[in-house]
Structure 1
Amino acid sequence: MRNLMLTIEYDGTNYHGWQRQDNAVTVQEMLEKSLKKITKEDITVTGCSRTDTGVHALAFVCNFYTQSNIPVDKLPYALNSILPDDIVALECKEVPQEFHARYWAKGKKYRYRVINRAFPSAFERNYACHWPYPLDINLMKAAAQFFIGEHDFKAFMASGSSIKDTVRNIYSLTVEQKDNEVIIEISGNGFLYNMVRIISGTLLYVGNGKISVEQISDIIKAGDRRKAGITAPPQGLFLVEVYY
C-alpha cells in the first residue's frame, strides 16, 4: 500500500467546495471518481483544507492510499485524461505512510483578488470580487500590519464554527494595487473558517472609510465578529500554497 501526495489546481466555480457532500458536486468527489477509474479501487482522498463553494486553488495538496503500481510521474497524465477541464493534476509523489495532507501542513498562503471600478468585469466575475467604491490603498496597507503576528482571531471567524482555539499566527499580509485590481495576500500557520474572507472584507471597509486603521487593534482584542467587516465573496479567494 503506497501513500501518494497529489498537488492539483482547480477552478472552484462549478463546485460546492472541496469536501464530499451528499447532494452537491465537489472537487473531492470528482477526484475520487477519477482515481477509481484508474486504480479500480475505492479511494478516499484527504485534502489539506476545506475550501468553500466558488473558492479556487492554485496548489491544493491531498493524499491517498493505493495498491496500484502506476508510476507517480504517470499518474497526473492519467488523471488529466479523465478529470474535467477545471481540475488539473500537477504533481504526484510517494510520501511516508504517516503523511497527512491536513495535519502535516505547517501553514498556507492565500490570495484575494478585487476588481475596483464602477462596473464589474465580464471576464473576472468568477475570479475576483467586484468592489465599486473608492479604496485608499495606503490605509489598507497600514491596517494590514495590525494582523501580522500571533493573535486571537475570534472576531474574524464565521459564526457557527465549533473551533475552540482561535489563536493563529499570521506571517505576512500585503495589499497591492495594479490598475483596477487590488491583490491581498496572506500567509500564516492556519486559518479559521472564513478568516481570510473576513480579513479581506475588513480591509475593504478600511479602504473606503467604514472602519479606521486605528480600530483594527481594538477589533482583534474585542473578539467580536460584529465589529469586523463583511465576509468578502468567495470567488476572489485562491489557495496559493501549502507549507510542509
Structure 2
Amino acid sequence: MNAPTTYAIGIEFIGTNYKGWQRQQEVASIQAHLEHALSKVANHPIEVIAAGRTDAGVHASNMVAHFNTTATRTAHQWLRGVNTLLPNDIALRWLVPMPDDFHARFAATARRYRYITLNQPYRPAILHRQVTHFYEPLDVDSMMAATLHFCGTHDFSSFRSSLCQSKKPVRDIHHIKLFQHGAYFVLDIQADGFLHHMVRNIMGTLFAVGTNKLLADDIPHLIKLKDRSQLPPTADADGLYFINAYYPDKFQTHIPNLPLTPLWLNLPV
C-alpha cells in the first residue's frame, strides 16, 4: 500500500443553499459534498479539514483545506474527477501535495474575509444572495473611522453569536479596512481567527454607524461591554466571503496565488 500523501486544496463555493461548511446529518453542507466527491475519485473514504468553518449562507472564493490519501492520481485527475461530481455551486480550484505535517486549520496563522455591500435604492437581481443589499445611504467616512477601533487584540464577546463554541473570545485583528468602489462597500478583514458571526456582527455595527444610529467613537465602549445583546442586529450572510488563509513560509510557498472570483474580491484595498 502507498504511504499517505497530504494534499492542500482550494475551494470556491456559493453558500446560499447550504447550512455552512461543516458536515451535519440530514442537511446539505460543503464538507459533505466535497468528501463524497474526493472519496469517489480516491476509491476510499476521505475526510477534509478546512482552515475555517463558514456558517449558513456564507461564500468562499479560496477556502483552504487538506486531506490525506493513499490513492495515486495526477492533479488533473483529481480536479477533473472531483469537479464532475460536485454541485455547480461548489468547485475545486487547485490541489497541491504538501509536507506531511501540514494541517489546514491548526497551521493557519491568519484568516481573511471580505464583506460586500451593494448600497443602492433598488434590490439587485443578478447579484441576488451574492452581495448584501443596503438601500439606505451610508456615511462611509464615519464607517471608516469606526473600523480603526477594531484593530488589535480584544475580547470580542460583544461580537460573537450566542451559539459560539469557542472557549476563548480574544482575537487579534491584523487589519480591517473599509473602502468604496462606486455603489459597492467592501470590508476587508484579517485576523488570527474569528468567532461565530464575528464579521457579520462587526458589519452590522458598521451599518449602524453608517446610518448615524451609533457614533464611530462608541465602538470601544461596545467592545468593553462584552454583551452581544447591546449591539445592533447581525448583518446578512449574503455578502460574506472567506477569501484566504495564511501559513508559515514552509507551507505558504507550496500554495498557489491565484486571482479570486468574483472580480470584486480582487479590488485593491
Q: String of CA shifts for 1:93-151, please: whole Å, max 9, x gaps.
A: 11222321111111111010111122211112211111111210000000000001111
Unaligned runs of 5+ in 1: none
Q: String of CA shifts for 1:197-237, please: whole Å, max 9, x gaps.
A: 00011001100011111110111111111222221111110
What SS is found at the alignment partner of 2:9?
A: strand
**Alignment partners' CA distance in 2, 1:188 and 1:214:** 22
CA contact (8 A) 2:120 2:183 kept: yes
Query: Residue 200 of structure 2 is aligned with which of 197, 208, 220?
Result: 197
**Alignment partners' CA distance in 2, 1:189 and 1:27:** 23
- Paired residue for 1:55? 58
Q: Which amino acid counterpart does residue 30 of structure 2 have in structure 1?
A: V
Query: Residue 29 of structure 2 is aligned with which of 26, 37, 42?
Result: 26
Q: String of CA shifts for 1:166-218, please: whole Å, max 9, x gaps.
A: 11111111111222211111111111111000001100110001111111011
Q: Which amino acid counterpart does residue 202 of structure 1 have in structure 2?
A: T
**Alignment partners' CA distance in 2, 1:51 and 1:162:** 14
Among all aligned residue pairs of Structure 1 and Structure 2, give the percentage whose two residues are the same amino acid: 36
**Alignment partners' CA distance in 1, 2:233 and 2:175:** 21
**TM-score normalised according to structure 2 size:** 0.87
Q: Which amino acid counterpart does residue 83 of structure 1 have in structure 2?
A: L
Unaligned runs of 5+ in 2: 248-269
**Alignment partners' CA distance in 2, 1:33 and 1:11:** 18
Query: Residue 157 of structure 2 is aligned with which of 154, 157, 162?
Result: 154
| CA RMSD in angstroms, aligned pairs only | 1.2
Query: Residue 136 of structure 1 is aligned with which of 139, 145, 154?
Result: 139
Moved over 3 A (4+): none
Pair 1:39-2:42 in alignment: yes
Pair 1:237-2:232 in alignment: no
What SS is found at the alignment partner of 1:49?
A: coil
Q: Bigger shift: 155-164 or 16-25?
A: 155-164
**Alignment partners' CA distance in 1, 2:232 and 2:173:** 18
**TM-score normalised according to structure 1 size:** 0.96
Pair 1:86-2:89 in alignment: yes
- Paired residue for 1:104? 107
Query: Residue 122 of structure 2 is aligned with which of 119, 123, 147?
Result: 119
